[in-house]
Structure 1
Amino acid sequence: MKANMVGWFEIPVRDMGRAKKFYEKVFDISIAIHELGDFIMGWFPMSPEKPGATGSLVQHNRYTPSETHGPLIYFTCSDVSQELARVVEAGGKVLQKKTEIGGGHGFMGLMKDSEGNRIALHSNE
């Protein structure tokens, strides 16, 4: 295999405007909205020269947000505590505060986004 296995991810949303505002505030980024037929997609920023996968928020009747079902996506951060500090004000909930993973694997935290999805954060500091 020439690349990491994850190449793209999609996060289900009920309200694209609300989800866009939430993720932009928590991560201090801009999300580009694209309407593709029945799909409304909010693409996360991408830098082709940098490693790691990118993805999209997706609003469509086949996508259902969930706090307990489906895969758990980890967003890489400089320091998990910085993003977690913005979650509540952005309309989400902190599910797990910054926690050391152990074994030199860094730190993680969990949040519930504005749409009801469980999302993880990871940092080495």
Structure 2
Amino acid sequence: MIFKNAISWFEIPAADIDRAQTFYERIFDIKMDRIEFEGTTMCMFPLEDPMNGVGGALCQVSDFHQPSANSGTMIYLNANPDVQIVADRIEAAGGTIIVPKTEISPEYGYMAVFLDTEGNRVALHSVPEKYL
């Protein structure tokens, strides 16, 4: 099997969905749509083409997702054109930088890691300028 994208969907746990939504909207300068169903509240990251892109959401479901600062999978969110633009907003929005902007390599670009307001360890990635 060959995947167009290795990931098709992700969920970031939120203990306080309002606080989490405010944080991510501030650091990415976006507006997230909220949906609620069967005891679940999700705030969707905006996508250009929902049927052909990797999507994700903040997710508040009691006893299903637990925020984690040091275990489990770590996702890298798209911070193009420059990780630093998003990283510069994190502390003012209530998060904490764990790893500042760091070059992975000239071919793979830059990354940074932060803790969000919910206690999740999340990373940022931006590709080299020549790929934008």
TM-score, normalised via structure 1 length: 0.93
1:92 equivalent to 2:95? Answer: yes
Deviation of residue 49 (structure 1)? Answer: 7.3
CA RMSD of aligned residues (A): 1.6
Distance 1:36 1:10 in 2: 15
Equivalent positions of 1:37-48 (< 5 A) are 37-48=38-49
Which residue identity is paired with 2:27?
V
Match of 1:67 in 2: 69
Deviation of residue 48 (structure 1)? Answer: 1.1
Most deviating of 17-26 and 31-40:
31-40
Q: Deviations over 1:28-68 (max 9, x none)?
A: 00011111111111111011179641101000111100011
Match of 1:102 in 2: 105
Deviating beyond 3 angstroms after TM superposition, the runs of 4 or more aligned structure 1 residues are 49-52
TM-score, normalised via structure 2 length: 0.89
Q: Structure 2 unaligned runs (5+)? A: none
Deviation of residue 104 (structure 1)? Answer: 1.7
Distance 1:66 1:122 in 2: 20
Distance 2:14 2:114 in 1: 15
Identity %: 39
Query: Cα distance 1:2–1:101, how it changes in 2: closer, same or farther (>3 A)?
Result: closer
Q: Structure 1 unaligned runs (5+)? A: none
What count of residue pairs does the alignment treat as equivalent? 125
